[in-house]
Chains A and B, each alone.
Chain A
């Protein structure tokens, strides 16, 4: 075998040099002869080396095939896609309408060629169609297109054996992205969005459970809570006594880290869960928001998220707790008005106090944790914003309990910090609260009563039934 190989090699060199000189030919034949009579052991070694080289090349080729991104559009589909890309680019003068036409044709063709419905190729064309629909203001059509992708994924992920284990996490990642897109387009239907998110979470979280027994326990305890709620048809008011706040002061490390169990869809999952919390709140489901947020923060610690993200999550938990406290306050007044039993009034009151306490615990843990961070981490995204928002939140709590001087200082500090970190929405809010505070204090000074707390309480009690909660959810795209 070796000899043959060598001759071929020689033949090749012959071909590249059209007219070899005699010297070269002589040398070559000498070389050949020398090779023929070299000792057999050496030949064995070379043989092996060649064999292993071949083996390695095959392995390498295989790995390249698996890991290198490449698309396998048929040439006719590819032709249509080129036309589509051309049309939507600057060269084609952003002609989305024409691009849509080509993409639709490409999809039709690809489907007739039986391209796998969860392949990156087919879903890629569908995403392009969705994007064109969005650009053409056809949100409903876009919504339907994205929904089809999500439904195909959901079907595939729940069909045992349909998706290879190693590609499941990647499908889940894409699934979560497209689900968030659906929620974004389906904004008039928050309840549907909630259920949709929930369904797709369960699939994603199941994937995490497989990779870590610890996480599996954490996730199951949340899942059963959700099931219980669906069965009983009503959510439990967040069980404030038992609620565990993941980020406790001084014990940030009691949750083991298990980053790889959450990859590669970690960011997508927490992004979607944050959105879920926001939707819960906008539909008034505070208990659901609290439960989801507590679990999310705990999981984020386990998933080894960036400190800024964890701090913002904890800050948001503090804010939700505050709102829950206000909800109990409303309940308390309602009970007083409806003349229910003293026990019910007291219960609402003590729940309110507990929520306020937990809320301030959250905010304070954020400040403490942030202080312990090394200075380079403190400059990272969301850390300064979390500090500013937590300071603000504490200020609002002090307003709630009537400590106006402390509130004033905290609000001022938060305004300063918000300005420093470019968190403009908070600057506006802090200024608004400060202006109101000044006005209130002026009023107090004019009035006869010198007891601030008493006066505040009277004002608070003045309106009996409060049907509204007030909050700002800043829901901005991360750019």
Chain B
């Protein structure tokens, strides 16, 4: 730790509340930095001792001490009303009230749903820990400049404004989302209870009801198995001996999912060499033929480890593709983005509706055609002259 020089003795270039600075020499590492008093509304009397805004226990301790000190002063005043001097009365009354008042100001920060100082300090602490910098439990990272009270205020104002704005916006779309959720829940309940029935029938092996029972267990799935730490392992002798809280925490499903869905995306462009184009033309011919026999793949393999050239090209035969909007949650957006008139069966697609389905069709124009049928229900059927071949 270094030496703290009280605010005011250094240059007063920074006049804001939390920007008081004093040079401090860092310990251990040679780098010197400026120590800024941690921000607070009601705990300012503690000066440089104010803890980091994300250290709630520390704030709680100071707040507790301050409250107790304040109430003691008031109590003393009452008890020794007759015996004490006027000076002592004034001091006790003034200081006591001040301390209590300030503590009262600080308490809302605990209650407020959003505290910019807290978020800022927490993020700085996390970052410092990740970068192996020295972090103090009480103060957080040493080299950290908190935002000023004005900024804090502005952020809170913005938050309140945006909060009400988005509440309003959300409540307009919420009923649609609710409908989708309830529908999905209903479908899943029925499906799960059916599967559970099958699983309970011990006479029949479950794998025969599976669609892909030949490869019953998905070996390609790159998810680690349940992890049991070595020190816990000898104690687990039966299912009843499992310390659920501990084991569930170690194998937290949400953490496991987080690790499972972390992707790296890198895009490698390719130059179109003249002879590639010839091959491309030939490939297209082959592809068109295979489509005629109905063997083409319209699947875009973006799953686990897609790594290959994607050729986006047209095929001659229209392919039917049904999108069940219930299962994709966002049906209304799609419906509202298609003008009803362009959904007739015979229509050759204009450029806009091709773009709507997101195909690579800008320059190909009328070669694409699309026919759609819209029902009042949320089921929408696309027939799209469109295909993607992954090679």
Contacts and interface: CB of A to CB of B under 8 A. Distances in A.
Nearest to A70: B245
B376 interface: no
Interface stretch (A5-13, A77-85, A364-372): A77-85
Interface in A260-312: 260-261, 263, 267-268, 271, 274-275, 277-286, 288, 304, 312
B64 to A, nearest CB: 5
A233 B354 CA distance: 10
Interface string B240-253: 10101101110111
Contact of B225 (A88, A188, A237, A426): A88
B114 A134 contact: no
B306 A475 contact: yes
Contact of A97 (B166, B206, B240, B264): B206
Interface stretch (B11-19, B40-48, B98-106, B155-163): B155-163
A463 interface: yes
A282 B263 CA distance: 16
B388 interface: yes
Contact of A467 (B236, B269, B284, B301): B284
Grouping DSSP codes into helix (H, G, I), strand (E, B) and loop, the A interface class, with mixed when no group exceeds half, is helix
A155 B173 CA distance: 9
B323 interface: yes
B375 interface: no
B191 interface: yes
B203 interface: no
B360 A151 contact: no
Interface string B263-307: 111111111111011101100100000000000001111111111
Contacts of A1: none
B129 interface: no
Interface in B62-76: 64-65, 68, 72
Contacts of B124: 260
A196 B166 contact: no
Nearest to B331: A195
A415 to B, nearest CB: 13
A322 B304 CA distance: 26
Contact of B180 (A151, A177, A281): A151
Contacts of B305: 475-477
A174 B254 contact: yes
B187 interface: yes
B357 A282 contact: no
A206 interface: yes
B61 interface: yes
B253 A473 contact: no
Given A71-B245, A284-B312, A124 B253 contact: yes
Interface string A59-80: 1100100000111010000110
Given A181-B261, A463-B278, A196 B268 contact: no
B167 interface: yes
Interface stretch (B20-28, B87-95, B133-141, B336-344): B336-344
A375 to B, nearest CB: 16
A218 interface: no
A384 interface: no
Contacts of A141: 191, 195
A211 B119 contact: yes
A120 B188 CA distance: 19
Contact of B158 (A152, A213, A288, A330): A213
Contact of B333 (A92, A230, A469): A230
B316 interface: no
A166 B110 CA distance: 11
Contact of A144 (B173, B187, B199): B187
Interface stretch (A26-34, A100-108, A247-255): A100-108
Contact of B281 (A71, A145, A210, A463): A463
Contacts of A86: 236, 238-239, 242
B231 interface: no
A138 B210 contact: yes
B217 A137 contact: yes
A259 B274 contact: no
Contacts of B310: 281-282, 471, 473
Interface string B176-218: 0110110011011001110110011000001100111001111
A400 interface: yes
B364 interface: yes
Contact of A233 (B274, B277, B303, B353): B353
A160 interface: yes
B263 A426 contact: no
A136 B217 contact: yes
A240 interface: no
Contacts of A78: 244
Given A55-B64, A281-B310, A396-B271, 11 more contacts: A56-B60, A73-B244, A85-B251, A97-B207, A108-B192, A138-B211, A188-B298, A211-B155, A283-B359, A315-B266, A463-B281
List 8 tightest A-B contacts by C-beta distance, closest first.
Answer: A284-B360, A165-B113, A86-B239, A260-B123, A459-B274, A158-B170, A127-B253, A192-B328
9 contacts: A73-B244, A90-B225, A123-B254, A137-B218, A148-B181, A389-B266, A459-B274, A473-B306, A476-B305
